[in-house]
Chains A and B, each alone.
Chain A
Amino acid sequence: MIKSLNHLPHPHENAQVLASHFTDLAPPLNARQAVLESSRCLYCYDAPCVNACPSEIDIPSFIRNIQQENVQGAAHTILSANILGGSCARVCPTEVLCQQACVRNNSQECAPVLIGLLQRYAVDHAQFSEHPFTRAAPTGKRIAVVGAGPAGLACAHRLALHGHEVVIFEARAKSGGLNEYGIAKYKLVDDFAQREVDFVLEIGGIEVRHGQRLGDNLTLSELHQQFDSVFLGLGLAASRLLGLPHEDAPGLLAATDYIRELRQSDDLTQLPLAERCIVLGAGNTAIDMAVQMARLGAREVNLVYRRGLEDMGATGHEQDIAKANQVRLMTWAQPQELLLDEQGRVRGMRFARTRLEDGRLVSTGETFELAADAVFKAIGQTFDDAALGDPLAQKLKRVGDRIEVDEQLRTSVPGVYAGGDCTSLGQDLTVQAVQHGKLAAEAMHAQLMLDQEAA
């Protein structure tokens, strides 16, 4: 399984109990709750919530459809703006997106309409006898999409809708990207990610080729030659390094690697359990890691961050989840040294206390040690440069390690578009990736049709 953690014990609870720890963190609404909740929506005009949804779902409209017992219509509205509306409803940090903007958040009510849960209700309960979207007449254009994550899938679906033929090249054995391999298990339960992929592909005209890795058995130059247009939805495949000695010691691991194993595991009892663990980081990935380890039965989970709570990337809602799961949030402490036992395995970590001095983070000189059977890094994902090795790919302009794109998701190489986490645009969120994929598809479609007219 996870080699680096092979020496650790397994969870103590039986499979059934463990499984119960990984069911929906936010349980779905039942029909009655959905109707009640939908009646709270004021059906705003120029609704602030829509403005705050990266995928621009017509929220008042779909909620009104739920209220009027037209669940199919509600789902259609959602999916026409966001084909992954089902997973977004589950994973979106609504507390900083749509629900934060809901007018019912005003000081007198402080209770936004539960847009995410309503969205989930609609998508889960709509029964379509066939795929709800029909493809336009074939255009004869072929488009390559690299990466079957949210960005790639959304792009492919929209392209197929417009009548283009799409081939998705995906490195891994399953499609879905982080929906399949990365999202906390209690946010996206059972095989929902795969069912959603199946739903997206139902539209037809999309071929997915697995085991195709750009930079390995595939080059951008080839794709550029063979297809009318290319979309890159590569995500961020690499994890940031600590830059400390013994970075490869057993017991030290990227959080995303562990979560991937957890999500893929059919038998949670066989996972390695770090009774005492340290999670380094401050984003939602760090929280996800810490909470999942706690739910597997870890006794002591310390999430350590070098700045204060208010600086954390994780939302207040996420921090509350951590606290509710007995995760200890320790701030103002920076990793200084990985502590190893005689066999060279992680036994803990020494931290330097930090503080701000003239806006700069400095260590106070004080240190402390935390014992741990494993340390998980959740200090950020980075772009895996290996993907862009060939000469054409090297021409892509970058912003930091990411691919530069404009508002239409065009890269610096004509005919090559990119979206999702691998670009510099917007936040690293599923819903943002979906929007990128959708907008890129529209831009590609418009360009191809323009070229056709000109020809």
Chain B
Amino acid sequence: MADLSIVFAGIKAPNPFWLASAPPTDKAYNVVRAYEAGWGGVVWKTLGEDPAAVNVSSRYSAHFGPNREVMGINNIELITDRSLEINLREITQVKKDWPDRALIVSLMVPCEEESWKFILPLVEATGADGIELNFGCPHGMPERGMGAAVGQVPEYVEMVTRWCKTYCSLPVIVKLTPNITDVRLSARAAHRGGADAVSLINTINSITSVDLERMVALPMVGSQSTHGGYCGSAVKPIALNMVAEIARDPLTKGLPICGIGGIGSWRDAAEFIALGCGAVQVCTAAMLHGFRIVDEMKDGLSRWMDSQGYTSLDDFSGRAVGNTTDWKYLDINYQVIAKIDQDACIGCGRCHIACEDTSHQAISSLKQADGTHRYEVIEDECVGCNLCQITCPVEACIEMVPHNNGLPFLDWNHDPRNPYCVAS
């Protein structure tokens, strides 16, 4: 079986599956259970200055799919609500008992040098393997000038990162907030400040739903609500893009990335790794199913690696980065055309109505003698948008087949239809 062990930003772990800083890593009891279950590392629930934070009730709400499957969770919890002393004592003990597992301590203190100077030596003394700077918490803490309030200002990110590098010898991972317009600016700032790695994403500002009887958004605290942070499967596409943006940014080239956001399976993890991550963190999936999910993640990842002939994560980490580019570099002459496998087709008509009403009228509906319909692609009209394939309920029923039109590679920069075409 493939070797899943990693060294990420100088931190060793038996596998790349870490638990993100959140309730699953709130205290020794949880973390020990996670290690017992086989997680390669944890990022301890964010520590702050005493007095500890105080939480409200209720705290979570969710966005559900039609089968009540959870697409995403929204939370309004703050950082740890336990004292610094208890946390540090537990961290020390757990690290001592589990020397082979990664233990990273997440931190969030006011944006003042003294505060960091105070807490960093205490954390280092626990024996922890590294620190993660929580510049991402989007609710509650920013109102106090912390979390996302720092992460949204590149100058602060750089400054605090530098303080950490100055007052602590541990690897520093900067956890980025997605609540910005261009995540590369934050990553570059962290890089300038001397960060050993970045991790992303933290949660996304969200309101999941509104109780239409009481006219209050969820989660409800009495008769009020507030926006929270969104995470879970629904945020994966956003996280993947942000990871890719940083991975292919020349200004942060080589900066290790820890992927977070909606990871729940080995495949999710492999995708983050392919887009440049060296490790991944999981929160929501564990919160929904418990720590046991790491079994299938590890098993699935190593079997898939075996099937691909990859012996270590390095073999494929970042492999998809080079193929991710700007729109202007795409081959405008490349063409695919939808092809319906008539034997697999169950005749639901979704491809037809989707294309007919909202795309290119490229799938005809032919009424048959028995009253059913046959659906056929009008190849000349198909622009290869993939919509029919997406709406088709039968896997692999619609294939997007490359069409050889004999035209050479041509990107927009060189396309004569582009008014700003680069003369070749």
CA distance A51 to B349 in the complex (A): 13
A45 neighbours in B (Cβ, 8 Å): 348-350, 352-353, 365
Please determine whether B67 and A44 come into contact, CB atoms closer than 8 angstroms: no
The answer on a CB contact under 8 Å between A103 and B348 is yes
Question: Per-residue CB proximity of B331-357 to A under 8 Å, as 1/0?
Answer: 000000000000000111110110000
Tell which of B66, B349, B373, B393 touches A67, judged by Cβ atoms closer than 8 Å. B66
CB distance from A427 to the nearest CB of B (A): 16
Q: Select one of A39, A51, A103, A108 contacting B371, CB under 8 A.
A: A51
Separation of A324 and B130 alpha carbons in the complex (Å): 67
The minimal Cβ–Cβ distance linking B354 to chain A, given in whole angstroms, is 9
Q: Is the CB of B346 within 8 A of A36?
A: no
Q: What total of chain A residues lie within 8 Å of the partner, measured CB to CB?
A: 18
Report how many A-B pairs have Cβ atoms within 8 Å: 40
**Complexed CA–CA distance, A39 and B65 (Å):** 9
Residues A46 and B67 in contact, CB atoms below 8 Å apart: no
A97 within 8 A of B: no
Bound together, the chains give a CA A103 to CA B348 distance in angstroms of 6
- Known: A46-B365, A51-B372. Is A39-B67 also a contact (CB below 8 A)? yes
- Asked if B66 contacts A44 (CB within 8 A), the reply is no
User: Does A39 lie within 8 Å of B372, measured CB to CB?
Assistant: no
Which of chain B's residues have a CB closer than 8 A to the CB of A43?
Answer: 350
Pick from A35, A46, A52, A106: contact of B346, CB below 8 A: A106
Interface size on B, residues (CB 8 A): 16
B-side contacts of A36, CB under 8 Å? 67
User: Is A361 an interface position by the 8 A CB rule?
Assistant: no
- Provide the A30-42 mask, 1 if CB < 8 A to any CB of B, else 0: 0000011001001
Q: How far is the CA of A43 from the CA of B393 in the complex (A)?
A: 10
Within 8 A of B (CB), among A382-410: none
Which residue of B68, B349, B371 contacts A44 across the interface (Cβ within 8 Å)?
A: B349
A28 within 8 A of B: no
Residue of A nearest to B365 (CB): A46
Chain A neighbourhood of B67, CB < 8 A? 36, 39
Task: Tell whether A205 is near chain B: CB-to-CB under 8 Å.
Answer: no
By a CB distance below 8 angstroms, the chain B residues around A51 are 371-372
Residues of A within 8 A of B365 (CB): 45-46
Known contacts A46-B365, A48-B372, A51-B371; A39 and B350 CB within 8 A of each other = no
Contacts of A42 in B (CB 8 A): 348, 350, 393
- Most central of B67, B348, B353, B365 by chain A CB within 10 Å: B348
Q: Report the minimal beta-carbon distance from A66 to chain B, rounded to whole angstroms.
A: 11
Closest to A103 in B: B346
Asked if B373 and A46 sit within 8 Å, CB to CB, the answer is yes
Contacting residues of chain A (30-77) with chain B, CB-CB under 8 angstroms: 35-36, 39, 42-48, 51-52, 67
Considering the chains assembled together, what is the distance between the CA atoms of A205 and B322 in angstroms?
Answer: 75
Closest beta carbon of chain A to B398's beta carbon, Å? 14
- With a cutoff of 8 Å between Cβ atoms, the chain B residues found around residue A108 in the complex are 394
In the assembly, what is the distance between CA of A47 and CA of B373, in Å? 9
In chain A, residues 337-373, which have Cβ atoms closer than 8 Å to a Cβ of chain B? none
Cβ contacts under 8 Å, B66 to chain A: 35, 39, 67
Smallest Cβ distance from B63 to chain A, in angstroms? 15
1/0 per position for B399-422, CB-CB distance to A under 8 A?
000000000000000000000000
Question: A51 CA to B365 CA in the complex, in Å?
Answer: 15
Chain A positions within 8 Å of B348 at CB level: 42, 44-45, 47, 103
Within 8 A of B (CB), among A92-126: 101, 103-104, 106, 108
Q: What are the residues of chain A within 8 A of B350 when measuring CB–CB?
A: 42-45
Closest to B353 in A: A45
Q: Provide the bound-state CA to CA distance between A45 and B350, in Å.
A: 6
Chain B residues whose C-beta falls within 8 Å of the C-beta of A35 in the assembled complex: 66, 68
Query: In the complex, which residue of chain A has the Cβ closest to the Cβ of B66?
Result: A39
Which chain A residues border B373 with CB–CB below 8 Å? 46
Distance between Cα atoms of A36 and B65 in the complex (Å): 11
Q: Which residues of B contact A47 (CB under 8 A)?
A: 348-349
Q: How far is the CA of A445 from the CA of B86 in the complex (A)?
A: 83
| A residues in contact with B394, CB < 8 Å | 106, 108
Interface string of A410-429 (1 = CB under 8 A from B): 00000000000000000000
Most chain B CB atoms below 10 A, which of A36, A42, A52? A42
Residue in chain A with minimal CB distance to B65: A39
Complex contacts, B372 vs chain A, CB 8 Å: 48, 51, 101
Q: Which residues of A contact B346 (CB under 8 A)?
A: 103-104, 106
Name A40's closest neighbour in chain B (CB-CB).
B67
Considering only residues 356-375 of chain B, those with a C-beta below 8 Å from chain A are: 365, 371-373
CB distance from B211 to the nearest CB of A (A): 13
Q: Which residues of B contact A52 (CB under 8 A)?
A: 371
Q: Give the shortest distance, in Å, between A57 (CB) and chain B (any CB).
A: 15
Q: Which residues of A contact B349 (CB under 8 A)?
A: 44-47
Task: Point out which of A39, A47, A48 has the most chain B C-beta atoms below 10 A from its C-beta.
Answer: A48
Q: How far is the CA of A259 from the CA of B393 in the complex (A)?
A: 45
Q: How far is the CA of A43 from the CA of B352 in the complex (A)?
A: 13
Give bound CA distance, A93 to B348, whole Å.
22
A371 to B: closest C-beta gap in Å: 47
Binary interface encoding of chain B residues 67-79 relative to chain A, with 1 for a CB under 8 A from any of its CBs, else 0 = 1100000000000
Residue of A nearest to B352 (CB): A45
Chain B, residue nearest A106 (CB): B346
Q: How far is the CA of A44 from the CA of B349 in the complex (A)?
A: 6
A106 to B343, CA, bound (A): 10
Q: Among residues 13 to 72 in chain B, which have CB atoms less than 8 Å away from a CB atom of chain A?
A: 66-68
12 pairs, A vs B, C-beta closer than 8 Å: A35-B68, A39-B67, A42-B350, A44-B350, A45-B348, A45-B365, A47-B348, A47-B349, A48-B371, A51-B371, A67-B66, A106-B346
Task: List 8 extra interface pairs beyond A42-B350, A44-B347, A46-B365, CB under 8 A.
Answer: A35-B68, A39-B66, A42-B348, A44-B350, A47-B348, A47-B349, A48-B372, A108-B394
Binding site for B on A (CB under 8 A): 35-36, 39, 42-48, 51-52, 67, 101, 103-104, 106, 108
Q: Nearest 7 pairs between A and B by C-beta? A: A45-B349, A45-B353, A39-B66, A103-B346, A44-B348, A106-B346, A51-B371
